[in-house]
Structure 1
Amino acid sequence: MDISQTDEQKMLQDSVTRLLERSYDFEARQKLLASGQPWSPDTWQSLAEMGILGLPISEESGGFGGSMADIVSIAEPFGAHLLIEPFVSSILLGGQCLAHGEGPAAEAQLARILTGEQTAAFAHEEGRGTADPALVSLAASESDGGFTLNGEKRMVLGGAQADVLVVSARARGAAPAKDGLSVFMVDPDQKGVRIKPFVTIDGRHAAHITFDGVRIPAARRIVAEGYDVLEQVISKAIIALCAEAVGAMGALLRLTGEYASTRKQFGTPIAAFQTISHRLADMKIAYVKARSNLLYTTALKDAGHASPLDVSVLKGQIGTLGRQIGEAAIQTHGGVGMTDEISIGHFHKRILAINALFGDSEYHFRAVGQSLASS
């Protein structure tokens, strides 16, 4: 199996990297965070004009039908530049659900999202690390030809800024049943929707959202039997998030190597000290392991052979190896590595945040153990 990038994917990655190097360095990102803006409208529009927003969406739904390898190619530089734009939340999660949806409402909404005119937020997490869609319990009760939503979603990325909420809910049955799950389009300004915004540890904007008797017309249920759709969407998002983490790991490895080569003690670069050189070697090994697993799982996904076990192995390893690299980078930089003035701590926080999304490393390693024990 060939897991190397094609020439087209390398060109795509280089184009995104050049865009971010021109306008999205660490200082520009810090100014953006200090301004209180959730993301840069200019950068988001530039990505739309490059076709990046439409890359993961099928041609039938108005996108460009990019492969998982194409998505990974752009996600790595996103991670290396600590991009806070809502690519995962609005495109890979909300947008992908809309692309699988039925009806003109979903089609029209998706078109506005792919142009960068509007954004979507994926309201799915319920505070239990719901990597498995079967754990969803928010109720969607049928009433008067439509549905009524009652329950809470937590950690909704971009939830306070989104123009539409894409909500997973249970129309029948109870968790952990796979049957009875549906996906709805909800207007965030609708009566009964209460949004509590906050900023995450890695600088992104998110919200806890409560649905209290929210009435949804039947036409706004875009997926009637949603388990398979949700599993597919989440699986792709996990791989893309792992690619972001690998991009952040590569940046940490590069920055730490440069620092150790220039920072001197007793007139000697600290990279020459045995403890530091061994630490740098361990960081390199961890990075190569993480990226190799990423490319292998990506190739499996594009070939249609990636199982939930493969995705769990990737997510578990990325969380563990990413933490090792982040901690080693901070230790090498010393106290300054924990400050907001340099990027090292920000990369580490991003890796930790990615680890927490859709099940942390312990969650996925347990899933691997359970799968192997039952086979």
Structure 2
Amino acid sequence: MDFTPDNEQKALREAVRDMLKRTTPPDTIGLPVHDPEQWQQFVEMGLVALPFDDSAGPVEVMLVAEELGRARVRSPYVDVLLAGHLLAATGQGDLLDAMGEGQALVLPALAEPGRSWQSAASVTASGDALSGTKDPVPYAAAATHVIVSSTQGLHLVEHPPVSGSGIALDATPATLLTEDHSVLAPALNLATVALCAEALGAMSAAVDLSVDYLKTRKQFGVPLMSFQALTHRAADLYVSLELARSTVQYAAMSLAEDPGDSELVSRTKVIVGKSGRLIGQEAIQLHGGIGMTAEYSVGHLTARLTAIEHTFGDTRQHLGALARSLSGHTTVDVV
């Protein structure tokens, strides 16, 4: 399998990178805030409609998401990707087109407070109305629509009632999209790999920052990179990064052929989660005291990697899913 991007993919990556170089991400802690001006730039570049273009696929989406992670840009790109695939699967072409043109922002509302990821939904449907709580729903305050999972199926809610970091439904009008929950799996697979690609970009940035710091910071009159122990630790980061990179690339190329391969996605999420934790923690350690400051980007990259690890199921949950899929083996390696 050839992981080398073609000329069009390279051009896409460079165009996104150039656009993001003009963006200075706010180094803030807390709930992510939607940036309408930046999102409009994504729309104008065609990045929002890209995942649903017949000429593109998971590999192109992976390249975009990786650049977002590298630039520390927090946006609802992956959430919109998930919602868009659900709209496509349920025949909501008009709303999907409006989203690609920037006229609508549709987000998924799947998680519930106090419940593990992908456990059965507790939101109830009564006729054309929903009751219950979905939380967290990132960027909910900016959403024009949300797709809500309930005990009955998937519903579309317009102008969702925002409450804190989620939405509170109290006999809220909703449109039933489908009673078939199985449409979630392929959409979640694609969104999870895109999220892993964003983590890959954040890991790349953290490794680059760490290596540059070791080359320029001096101790006892010599660069830190001259100390063999630190050089070995930097080499370990590079190995973990390249393992994650090849895993994400393989997953993206494989999902282009079979979007329903959930086991492959779980393996990818486990490897990226472990690599991200190692790289984030080691990057802070190698930077010493400056790595702990709010003004330095390596801490924000690590925070984002931690958040990604716990989105769409954490490492332990995906390991459990892999374990449940095994039969006829006493032990197994994820890689």
TM-score by length of 2: 0.92
Q: Where does structure 1 lack aligned partners over 5 or more consecutive residues?
A: 58-62, 172-181, 198-206
Distance 1:267 1:253 in 2: 24
Over 3 Å counting, the alpha-carbon distance change for 1:65 and 1:154 in structure 2 is farther
Q: Which residue matches 1:357? A: 311
Over 3 Å counting, the alpha-carbon distance change for 1:244 and 1:37 in structure 2 is closer
The secondary structure found in structure 2 opposite 1:56 is helix
Does the aligned pair in 2 maintain the 1:54–1:64 contact within 8 Å?
no
Give the superposition deviation at 1:374.
6.6
Matching of residues 282-321 of structure 1 within 5 Å: 282-304=236-258, 307-321=261-275
Distance 2:193 2:328 in 1: 25
Distance 2:55 2:176 in 1: 24
Distance 2:283 2:234 in 1: 9
Deviations 1:175-205 (A, max 9, x none): xxxxxxx22111235xxx4x223xxxxxxxx
Distance 2:198 2:241 in 1: 13
The secondary structure found in structure 2 opposite 1:170 is coil
Q: Which residue matches 1:174? A: none
Distance 2:247 2:221 in 1: 40
Give the superposition deviation at 1:37.
8.4
What percentage of aligned pairs have identical amino acids? 33
Deviations 1:245-282 (A, max 9, x none): 00000111111100000000000111111221111011
The answer to whether the aligner puts 1:153 opposite 2:153 as a matched pair is no
TM-score by length of 1: 0.82
1:330 to 284, 290, 300: 284
Matching of residues 15-54 of structure 1 within 5 Å: 15-21=15-21, 23-24=22-23, 28-30=24-26, 33=28, 38-54=33-49
Distance 1:135 1:125 in 2: 10
Give the superposition deviation at 1:371.
1.3
The one-letter code matched in structure 2 to 1:50 is M
Matching of residues 193-212 of structure 1 within 5 Å: 193=161, 195-197=162-164, 207-212=165-170
The answer to whether the aligner puts 1:76 opposite 2:66 as a matched pair is yes
The secondary structure found in structure 1 opposite 2:141 is coil
Over 3 Å counting, the alpha-carbon distance change for 1:37 and 1:241 in structure 2 is closer
Give the superposition deviation at 1:136.
2.3
Q: Which residue matches 2:120? A: 135
Over 3 Å counting, the alpha-carbon distance change for 1:101 and 1:305 in structure 2 is closer
Does the aligned pair in 1 maintain the 2:120–2:151 contact within 8 Å?
no
1:67 to 57, 76, 81: 57
Higher share of residues assigned strand: 1
Distance 2:260 2:203 in 1: 24
The secondary structure found in structure 1 opposite 2:308 is helix
Q: Which residue matches 2:333? A: none
Distance 1:283 1:257 in 2: 10
Distance 1:154 1:374 in 2: 39
Distance 2:168 2:139 in 1: 15
The one-letter code matched in structure 2 to 1:150 is S
Deviations 1:217-250 (A, max 9, x none): xxx222232x221111111110000000000001
Over 3 Å counting, the alpha-carbon distance change for 1:18 and 1:129 in structure 2 is farther
Please list every run of at least 4 consecutive aligned residues from structure 1 whose deviation after the TM superposition is greater than 6 angstroms.
Answer: none
Distance 2:310 2:263 in 1: 18
Give the superposition deviation at 1:292.
0.8
Distance 2:133 2:62 in 1: 31
Q: Where does structure 2 lack aligned partners over 5 or more consecutive residues?
A: 330-335
Q: How many residues align?
A: 327
Q: Which residue matches 1:167? A: 148
Give the superposition deviation at 1:305.
7.2
Over 3 Å counting, the alpha-carbon distance change for 1:354 and 1:37 in structure 2 is closer
Give the superposition deviation at 1:213.
2.0
| Higher alpha-carbon deviation: 245-254 or 43-52 | 43-52
